[in-house]
Amino acid sequence: PFAASAQDHAQAAPAARAQEEAASIPFANRGGVRDWRAQGMDRIYFQDSHGQWYLAKLMGSASDLPFTEFIGIDANPDGSLDKFSAIYVKGQKYPFESFVKVDGPPSKKARAKRKG
Protein backbone atom coordinates (compact mmCIF):
# COMPACT_ATOMS: atom_id res chain seq x y z
CA PRO A 1 0.00 0.00 0.00
CA PHE A 2 1.08 3.54 -0.70
CA ALA A 3 1.14 5.97 2.20
CA ALA A 4 1.44 9.66 1.50
CA SER A 5 3.00 11.92 4.05
CA ALA A 6 1.79 15.39 4.95
CA GLN A 7 4.83 16.69 3.07
CA ASP A 8 3.71 14.83 -0.08
CA HIS A 9 0.28 16.46 0.17
CA ALA A 10 1.83 19.88 0.81
CA GLN A 11 3.90 19.53 -2.36
CA ALA A 12 0.98 18.21 -4.45
CA ALA A 13 -1.43 21.04 -3.57
CA PRO A 14 0.63 23.86 -5.14
CA ALA A 15 1.21 21.70 -8.24
CA ALA A 16 -2.57 21.16 -8.61
CA ARG A 17 -3.20 24.88 -8.18
CA ALA A 18 -0.51 25.69 -10.75
CA GLN A 19 -2.15 23.31 -13.25
CA GLU A 20 -5.53 24.93 -12.58
CA GLU A 21 -4.08 28.40 -13.06
CA ALA A 22 -2.37 27.33 -16.26
CA ALA A 23 -5.50 25.82 -17.89
CA SER A 24 -5.93 27.66 -21.16
CA ILE A 25 -7.19 27.18 -24.70
CA PRO A 26 -4.82 28.97 -27.09
CA PHE A 27 -6.23 30.65 -30.20
CA ALA A 28 -9.80 30.50 -28.82
CA ASN A 29 -10.59 33.48 -31.04
CA ARG A 30 -9.23 31.69 -34.14
CA GLY A 31 -10.78 28.20 -34.13
CA GLY A 32 -9.21 26.90 -30.91
CA VAL A 33 -12.63 26.03 -29.46
CA ARG A 34 -14.24 23.05 -31.21
CA ASP A 35 -17.38 22.68 -29.07
CA TRP A 36 -19.13 23.95 -25.95
CA ARG A 37 -21.93 22.68 -23.72
CA ALA A 38 -23.87 24.52 -21.06
CA GLN A 39 -24.35 22.84 -17.68
CA GLY A 40 -27.06 24.69 -15.82
CA MET A 41 -26.90 28.45 -15.52
CA ASP A 42 -23.36 28.87 -14.19
CA ARG A 43 -21.12 26.26 -15.83
CA ILE A 44 -19.97 25.76 -19.39
CA TYR A 45 -17.75 23.07 -20.87
CA PHE A 46 -15.40 23.91 -23.74
CA GLN A 47 -13.60 21.44 -25.99
CA ASP A 48 -10.41 22.60 -27.68
CA SER A 49 -9.30 21.68 -31.19
CA HIS A 50 -7.34 18.70 -29.79
CA GLY A 51 -10.32 17.17 -27.96
CA GLN A 52 -9.38 18.30 -24.43
CA TRP A 53 -12.32 19.49 -22.30
CA TYR A 54 -12.34 22.41 -19.86
CA LEU A 55 -14.93 23.57 -17.35
CA ALA A 56 -15.58 27.26 -16.81
CA LYS A 57 -17.58 28.28 -13.76
CA LEU A 58 -19.23 31.67 -14.17
CA MET A 59 -19.11 34.34 -11.45
CA GLY A 60 -22.89 34.66 -11.67
CA SER A 61 -25.86 32.85 -13.12
CA ALA A 62 -26.77 33.26 -16.78
CA SER A 63 -30.46 32.37 -16.90
CA ASP A 64 -30.44 32.15 -20.72
CA LEU A 65 -27.36 29.89 -20.91
CA PRO A 66 -29.20 26.52 -20.85
CA PHE A 67 -31.42 27.67 -23.74
CA THR A 68 -29.05 29.59 -26.00
CA GLU A 69 -27.58 28.24 -29.22
CA PHE A 70 -24.90 30.93 -29.54
CA ILE A 71 -22.38 32.41 -27.14
CA GLY A 72 -19.73 35.03 -27.63
CA ILE A 73 -16.24 34.31 -26.32
CA ASP A 74 -14.37 37.19 -24.69
CA ALA A 75 -10.81 35.89 -25.03
CA ASN A 76 -7.67 37.51 -23.65
CA PRO A 77 -5.67 39.95 -25.81
CA ASP A 78 -3.43 37.04 -26.92
CA GLY A 79 -6.55 35.11 -28.06
CA SER A 80 -6.49 32.52 -25.29
CA LEU A 81 -9.42 31.38 -23.16
CA ASP A 82 -8.66 30.95 -19.45
CA LYS A 83 -9.89 31.91 -15.97
CA PHE A 84 -9.57 35.61 -16.84
CA SER A 85 -11.93 35.29 -19.82
CA ALA A 86 -15.69 35.61 -20.13
CA ILE A 87 -18.61 34.69 -22.35
CA TYR A 88 -21.50 36.74 -23.73
CA VAL A 89 -25.01 35.35 -23.66
CA LYS A 90 -27.62 37.50 -25.42
CA GLY A 91 -25.38 40.56 -25.06
CA GLN A 92 -24.72 40.12 -21.33
CA LYS A 93 -21.12 39.51 -20.23
CA TYR A 94 -20.39 36.70 -17.73
CA PRO A 95 -16.80 36.57 -16.41
CA PHE A 96 -15.30 33.24 -15.35
CA GLU A 97 -14.72 32.41 -11.70
CA SER A 98 -12.57 29.40 -12.62
CA PHE A 99 -11.34 27.51 -15.69
CA VAL A 100 -9.95 23.99 -15.30
CA LYS A 101 -9.15 20.92 -17.41
CA VAL A 102 -11.68 18.11 -17.00
CA ASP A 103 -12.35 14.69 -18.56
CA GLY A 104 -15.48 16.01 -20.25
CA PRO A 105 -19.05 17.04 -19.60
CA PRO A 106 -21.31 14.62 -17.72
CA SER A 107 -23.06 12.09 -19.92
CA LYS A 108 -26.77 12.45 -20.57
CA LYS A 109 -27.35 9.32 -18.44
CA ALA A 110 -25.50 10.85 -15.50
CA ARG A 111 -27.51 14.09 -15.81
CA ALA A 112 -30.83 12.21 -15.98
CA LYS A 113 -29.89 10.06 -12.98
CA ARG A 114 -29.02 13.15 -10.92
CA LYS A 115 -32.37 14.80 -11.71
CA GLY A 116 -34.45 11.72 -10.85
DSSP SS3 for 63: coil
Distance, in Å, from the CA atom of 46 to the CA atom of 66, rounded to the nearest integer, reads: 14
- Look at the chain and count its residues: 116
The pTM is what? 0.76
Q: Is the pLDDT of residue 9 over 60?
A: no
Strand order in the sheet with 86-89: 33-39, 43-48, 53-58, 92-102, 86-89, 72-74
Which residues touch 35 (CB under 8 Å, ≥6 apart)? 46, 47
Res 5 pLDDT > 90: no
**Mean pLDDT for the chain overall:** 83
The model's confidence at residue 113, banded by pLDDT at 50, 70 and 90, is low
pLDDT of residue 21: 54
Residue that wins the pLDDT comparison between 108 and 57: 57
**HSE value, Cβ hemisphere, 13 Å, CA-based, for 59:** 12
Element (H, E) at 2: none
Amino acid occupying residue 103: D
